[in-house]
Protein backbone atom coordinates (compact mmCIF):
# COMPACT_ATOMS: atom_id res chain seq x y z
CA UNK A 1 0.00 0.00 0.00
CA UNK A 2 1.45 3.40 -0.94
CA UNK A 3 1.88 5.80 1.93
CA UNK A 4 -0.08 9.02 1.60
CA UNK A 5 0.33 11.97 3.94
CA UNK A 6 -1.15 15.45 4.18
CA UNK A 7 0.06 18.02 6.68
CA UNK A 8 -1.30 21.49 7.40
CA UNK A 9 -0.63 23.98 10.14
CA UNK A 10 -1.97 27.34 11.20
CA UNK A 11 -1.12 29.79 13.94
CA UNK A 12 -4.03 30.90 16.12
CA UNK A 13 -3.94 34.06 18.26
CA UNK A 14 -5.20 31.97 21.22
CA UNK A 15 -3.66 30.54 24.36
CA UNK A 16 -3.11 26.77 24.14
CA UNK A 17 -6.08 25.93 26.42
CA UNK A 18 -8.48 27.92 24.20
CA UNK A 19 -6.99 26.42 21.03
CA UNK A 20 -7.49 22.96 22.56
CA UNK A 21 -11.20 23.75 22.85
CA UNK A 22 -11.27 24.75 19.15
CA UNK A 23 -9.85 21.37 18.08
CA UNK A 24 -11.76 19.13 20.51
CA UNK A 25 -15.27 20.45 21.10
CA UNK A 26 -17.87 19.32 18.54
CA UNK A 27 -19.43 22.81 18.19
CA UNK A 28 -16.00 24.24 17.36
CA UNK A 29 -15.05 21.35 15.05
CA UNK A 30 -18.26 22.00 13.11
CA UNK A 31 -16.91 25.45 12.28
CA UNK A 32 -13.88 24.11 10.38
CA UNK A 33 -13.95 20.32 10.00
CA UNK A 34 -17.47 19.31 8.93
CA UNK A 35 -21.08 20.47 9.37
CA UNK A 36 -21.84 17.80 11.98
CA UNK A 37 -19.38 16.23 14.42
CA UNK A 38 -19.86 13.81 17.30
CA UNK A 39 -16.84 13.19 19.50
CA UNK A 40 -16.24 11.14 22.62
CA UNK A 41 -12.80 12.52 23.47
CA UNK A 42 -11.27 9.60 25.33
CA UNK A 43 -9.12 6.70 24.19
CA UNK A 44 -11.46 4.26 22.46
CA UNK A 45 -14.13 6.97 22.06
CA UNK A 46 -16.15 7.33 18.87
CA UNK A 47 -15.70 10.00 16.20
CA UNK A 48 -18.49 10.62 13.66
CA UNK A 49 -18.18 13.30 10.98
CA UNK A 50 -21.10 14.03 8.64
CA UNK A 51 -20.86 16.12 5.48
CA UNK A 52 -23.69 18.12 3.92
CA UNK A 53 -24.01 15.57 1.10
CA UNK A 54 -24.71 12.79 3.62
CA UNK A 55 -21.26 11.21 3.52
CA UNK A 56 -20.08 10.02 6.94
CA UNK A 57 -16.75 9.07 8.39
CA UNK A 58 -16.62 6.92 11.50
CA UNK A 59 -13.57 6.56 13.65
CA UNK A 60 -12.00 5.88 17.00
CA UNK A 61 -9.91 8.07 19.28
CA UNK A 62 -6.50 6.44 19.74
CA UNK A 63 -4.66 8.88 22.03
CA UNK A 64 -5.55 12.00 24.02
CA UNK A 65 -2.91 14.23 25.67
CA UNK A 66 -4.64 17.47 26.76
CA UNK A 67 -3.94 20.24 25.90
CA UNK A 68 -1.37 19.33 23.27
CA UNK A 69 -2.33 16.30 21.15
CA UNK A 70 -5.03 13.89 20.11
CA UNK A 71 -5.03 11.14 17.49
CA UNK A 72 -7.85 9.26 15.82
CA UNK A 73 -8.45 6.84 12.97
CA UNK A 74 -11.36 7.10 10.57
CA UNK A 75 -12.54 5.84 7.23
CA UNK A 76 -14.92 6.97 4.54
CA UNK A 77 -15.76 3.59 3.03
CA UNK A 78 -12.52 3.30 1.11
CA UNK A 79 -9.44 2.90 3.23
CA UNK A 80 -8.75 4.02 6.78
CA UNK A 81 -6.49 6.88 7.70
CA UNK A 82 -5.06 8.31 10.90
CA UNK A 83 -5.28 11.96 11.93
CA UNK A 84 -3.01 13.60 14.49
CA UNK A 85 -3.81 17.07 15.81
CA UNK A 86 -1.08 18.77 17.82
CA UNK A 87 -0.91 22.14 19.54
CA UNK A 88 2.32 23.95 20.26
CA UNK A 89 2.63 27.25 22.11
CA UNK A 90 4.09 30.04 19.98
CA UNK A 91 4.52 33.73 20.42
CA UNK A 92 1.84 35.15 20.62
CA UNK A 93 -0.52 32.13 20.42
CA UNK A 94 -0.68 28.47 19.43
CA UNK A 95 0.35 26.55 16.32
CA UNK A 96 -2.17 23.87 15.33
CA UNK A 97 -0.83 21.09 13.12
CA UNK A 98 -3.07 18.50 11.49
CA UNK A 99 -1.45 15.48 9.86
CA UNK A 100 -3.47 12.78 8.10
CA UNK A 101 -1.90 9.67 6.69
CA UNK A 102 -2.73 6.28 5.23
CA UNK A 103 -0.21 3.50 4.94
CA UNK A 104 0.52 0.17 6.51
CA UNK A 105 3.48 1.33 8.62
CA UNK A 106 1.72 4.22 10.37
CA UNK A 107 -1.59 2.40 10.77
CA UNK A 108 0.17 -0.52 12.40
CA UNK A 109 1.84 1.85 14.86
CA UNK A 110 -1.42 3.69 15.65
CA UNK A 111 -3.43 0.53 16.30
Degrees, nearest 5: CA angle 70-32-44: 30
Phi and psi (nearest 5°) for 35?
-65, -25
Taking only the tens place, the pLDDT of each residue in 29-61 is: 999 889 999 999 999 999 999 999 988 999 999
Confidence of residue 3 (pLDDT cuts 50, 70, 90): low
| Residue 87: its H or E element | strand 81-89
pLDDT of residue 25: 97
Q: Which of 30, 32, 16, 7 is nearest to 83 (CA)?
A: 7
The burial class, CB within 10 Å (0-12 / 13-18 / 19+), for 26 is middle
Q: Is the pTM of this model over 0.95?
A: no
pLDDT of residue 111: 40
- 3-state DSSP call for residue 28? helix
Q: Which CATH number fits domain 4-110: 3.40.50.1000, 3.30.499.10, 3.30.530.20, 3.30.450.20?
A: 3.30.530.20
Please check the confidence at residue 107 and state whether its pLDDT lies above 70: no
Amino acid sequence: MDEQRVERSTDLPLEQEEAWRVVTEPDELERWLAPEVELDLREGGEVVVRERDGDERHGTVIEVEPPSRWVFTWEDGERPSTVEITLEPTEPGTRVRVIEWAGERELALAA
